[in-house]
């Protein structure tokens, strides 16, 4: 992946490109920059000069030649959810607790929600720090809710990555036909919230399920 200062004409829109050569993800960044993420067949320790520009042009038709490359880095896809977020009064959140495929920034967003829920748990134990059972009750509630949310987000991220990374003519053609069909039917009402992770369990601290477990 790499960040470019480039007027692609995509403005503030994020775009996903599914091609037989591999997928490309592009989304805007602050300061007039845009990030391009290109799927490769294997992990690359180093990115050859001009590789990203060539692959973006080949797969999307967008020319980045002459654009200012601000930063680039290879990365691999990893998956991990810790069995325990709580050990005594040490608590895990964000990447320390879970790692998932980088689809739509879900690892980051799940981490943000970890922080929101953990803050709520800490607020609940204030004034009860000498009562170990009360402290652990709220910390275990935090662990249970956020592990469930991370597991759901990771499953969806893996599914999205599997669909988006199908290469070669026939698999990519079947994938694209299925996507076009879904977009032309009422399935969009279901799929849009699903892929946007809006239906993840315990997705926001103000939801009723949060109040039910944490209290008002």
In CATH terms, 2-72 corresponds, of 2.20.25, 3.30.70, 3.90.660, 1.10.10, to 3.30.70
Is 49's pLDDT higher than 90? no
Select the more confidently predicted residue: 13 or 191: 13
Confidence of residue 206 (pLDDT cuts 50, 70, 90): low
Select the more confidently predicted residue: 197 or 43: 43
Confidence of residue 12 (pLDDT cuts 50, 70, 90): confident
Cite the residue boundaries of each domain of the chain with CATH code 3.30.70. Answer: 2-72
Q: What is the 3-state secondary structure (H, E, C) of the chain?
A: CEEEECCCCCCCCCEEECCCCCCEEEEEEHHHEEEEEECCCCCCCCCCCCHHHHHHHHHHCCCCCCCEEEEECCCCCCCEECCCCEECCEECCHHHCEECCCCCCHHHHHHHHHHHHHHHHHHHHCCCCCCHHHHHHHHHHHHHHHHHHHHHHHHHHHHHHHHHCCCCHHHHHHHHHHHHHHHCCCCHHHHHHHHCCCCCCCCCCCCHHHHHHHCC
Is 54's pLDDT higher than 70? yes
Is 10's pLDDT higher than 70? yes
Is 209's pLDDT higher than 60? no
Is 41's pLDDT higher than 90? no
């Amino acid at each position: 992946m790499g960040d470019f200062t480039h007027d692609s004409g995509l403005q503030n829109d994020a775009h996903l490109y599914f091609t037989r050569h591999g997928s490309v993800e592009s989304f805007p960044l602050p300061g007039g920059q845009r990030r391009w993420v290109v799927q490769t067949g294997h992990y690359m320790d180093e990115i050859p000069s001009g590789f990203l520009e060539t692959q973006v042009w080949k797969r999307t038709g967008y020319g980045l030649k002459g654009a200012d490359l601000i930063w680039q880095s290879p990365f691999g896809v990893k998956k991990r959810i810790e069995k325990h977020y709580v050990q005594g009064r040490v608590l895990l959140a964000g990447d320390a607790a879970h790692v998932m495929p980088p689809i739509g920034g879900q690892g980051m967003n799940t981490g943000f929600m970890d922080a929101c829920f953990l803050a709520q748990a800490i607020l609940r134990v204030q004034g009860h720090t000498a009562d170990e059972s009360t402290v652990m009750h709220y910390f275990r509630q935090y662990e249970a809710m956020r592990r469930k949310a991370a597991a759901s987000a990771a499953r969806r991220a893996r599914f999205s990555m599997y669909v988006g990374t199908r290469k070669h003519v026939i698999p990519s053609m079947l994938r694209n036909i299925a996507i076009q069909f879904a977009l032309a039917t009422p399935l969009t009402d279901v799929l849009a919230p699903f892929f946007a992770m809006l239906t993840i369990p315990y997705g926001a601290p103000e939801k009723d399920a949060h109040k039910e477990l944490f209290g008002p």
